[in-house]
């Protein structure tokens, strides 16, 4: 059995995060000692490691909840897990495309900078007016 501190160190997850996962139901409430200290078993450590790895892969908490539910039923087909992973992949691809667009816009701003005065600065001008962005997703924020 592990204390919350040892569980935290073993899984690489901060203690407040462990308490939060318990609060929202991703981790089952642990058994408690007579002194009210939390004690966790090997299954809790494995579940917490699963959650941490899923978070490292960028899965939102609701998707992790779904994956945990699926992992609790090992005889079920994995089609639902595939759907969750594909949804996450699309989300990551979308974020990558957005970041590439941001990179291009920032490179353009820096390249156009004449290194003169702030009154002629393209960086300040573009940041101040979204309509000057070349990418629609930036201009739409105005």
What kind and span of H or E run contains 32? strand 31-32
Q: What is the mean pLDDT of residues 64-86?
A: 94
Which helix (H) or strand (E) covers residue 38, if one does?
A: strand 38-39
pTM beyond 0.85:
no
pLDDT at position 135, please?
A: 67
At the topology level, CATH places domain 1-61 in Multidrug-efflux Transporter Regulator; Chain: A; Domain 2 (1.10.1660)
Q: What element of type H or E holds 20? A: helix 15-23
Residue 139's pLDDT band, with cuts at 50, 70 and 90, is: very low
- To which residue do tokens 């089609």 refer? 79
């Amino acid at each position: 059995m592990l204390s919350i501190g040892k569980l935290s160190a073993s899984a690489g997850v901060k203690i407040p995060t462990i308490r939060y996962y318990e609060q929202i139901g991703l981790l089952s409430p642990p058994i408690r000692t007579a002194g009210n200290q939390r004690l966790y078993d090997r299954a809790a450590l494995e579940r917490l490691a699963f959650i941490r790895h899923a978070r490292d892969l960028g899965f939102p908490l609701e998707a992790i909840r779904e994956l945990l539910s699926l992992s609790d039923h090992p005889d079920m087909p994995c089609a639902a897990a595939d759907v969750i992973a594909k949804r996450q992949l699309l989300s990551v691809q979308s974020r990558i495309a957005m970041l590439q667009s941001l990179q291009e816009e920032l490179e353009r701003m820096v390249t156009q900078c004449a290194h003169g005065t702030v009154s002629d600065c393209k960086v300040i001008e573009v940041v101040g007016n979204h309509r000057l962005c070349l990418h629609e997703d930036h201009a739409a924020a105005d």
